[in-house]
Homo-oligomer: A and B are copies of this chain.
Amino acid sequence: MELKSIIEAILFNAQKPLSPKDLRDVFSQTADNSEDLLAKSFKKIKDEEIIALLDELAKEHDAAARTFRLVCVAGAWQFVSQPEYAPWIKTLVGEKSRPGRLSQPALETLAIIAYRQPLTRAEIEQIRGVAVDGVMQTLLERGIVEQTGRAEVVGRPALYGTTPAFLEYFGLRGLEDLPAADELRKIPVKKPESLLTVEPGLATAPPEQLAMQEVAEKESTPAEPASPEPRETSPTEPPTEPSSRA
């Protein structure tokens, strides 16, 4: 019996998703309670070993391409069915108890928080261009967003981030699994050195100069002093009051 198989068997019989630590506990307890030498030999397994085997198992099941997969959601592993079988499973086990779908504004706000966390409400509003009081309320109430701290700036505004429930709701292993995470996490577009005009007399800059990549790869602009953003990689938006708003 391989360790990997035992992990599979445990997960197969679990009533809820199990973390590597949960699995480690099962091995350790079984070692204590059993006379079996093999069981005893698994007394101390490292989390990393378990995780590596879990990843292997998941790959095996993906390759087998059956109707179920082994997935990790928010750090806990579970067997899940492929979504296309939902109609029949629904008949069998009934409708999933799940809160209603999120509205478009809530999804947009959530996307901003997910990719840019932690950030303040003002920063969210700057990206969305509208107030987010109502949707923030919804997201906080549903427990997919939470206050994670306070920005070290004047007024010490609250910083927000996503919760494990967020990962569960969207079936994500972790934040790194968010689609296009690399791209969206960066603060992408910075102003070119000088704007050129497209046509004589018109001030609109030609697209080339605005090409995002050029700018994005330049870390020319220093982080705003007001920025509460702790992540060095993403200097944040300037605080909310641009002159253009006046």
Contact = CB atoms under 8 A, between A and B. Distances in A.
Interface in A76-128: 79, 81-82, 84-85, 87-93
Interface in A6-21: 6, 8-10, 12-15
Interface of A: 1, 5-6, 8-10, 12-15, 26-27, 29-30, 33-36, 39, 64, 66-68, 79, 81-82, 84-85, 87-93, 240-241, 245
A39 B90 CA distance: 12
Contacts of A33: 87, 91
Contact of A66 (B8, B39, B89): B8
B245 A10 contact: no
B39 A8 contact: no
A30 B64 contact: no
Nearest to A1: B84
A236 to B, nearest CB: 19
Contacts of A240: 35
Contact of A64 (B15, B29, B64, B68): B64
